[in-house]
Amino acid sequence: MHRRTFLASTLAVAALPHVLSATTATYDPKPQEVSIKSVYKTGQLLVVPSSHYLYFVTAPGKAMRYGIGVGKAGLEFTGTATIALKKEWPTWRPTDEMIERDPAAYKRFIGNTDAQEGGPNNPLGARALYLFENGRDTYFRIHGTTQPSSIGRSVSSGCIRMINEHVIDLYNRVPVGTVVTVL
């Protein structure tokens, strides 16, 4: 083997991982069964904001994967919580922090306790799963959305958004008490 061939081969092999990582799979928000590490417990929800996916562990090593939208940088929830409440067509009110960050967008909610009724125009969409830590509301939710184009992006005020049909499917699968881990 000549030195030039050796060097060219070495450089090609060294570059291979970069080439392979550049050809990642296309993002697909549709629910689908996937393999997952068997360390996760059946019935658990695992949220991976960096990939914009939520996993519902259905059996050891198996999960349903759903596409999600997540919070903007600095607004996201991380840690472990429990679904303490589930609601169909929930009412919605922005948090005080949301109103403070963008008073123009939420001016109708300033100085009152009004909430938007549930329905197709409600930002929480068709279903909401309320996340609690140590018995206290985190004000973070897994919920539907009126903005399906936000799925696969980091654009919310912190909640985990799903396409309405997908959150209805998840809502029907998970009971109150389900553990949710957000990485």
> CA dihedral defined by 40, 42, 48, 52, rounded to 10 degrees?
150
CA–CA gap between residue 166 and residue 183 (Å, rounded): 21
Q: Do 70 and 154 meet the contact criterion of CB atoms below 8 Å apart?
A: yes
Amino acid identity, residue 125?
G
SS3 167: helix
Q: Where in the sequence numbering do the catalytic residues fall?
A: 143, 159
Q: What are phi and psi of 179, to 5 degrees?
A: -85, 135
CA distances from 96 to 37, 54, 71, 91, 111 (A): 38, 27, 16, 16, 10
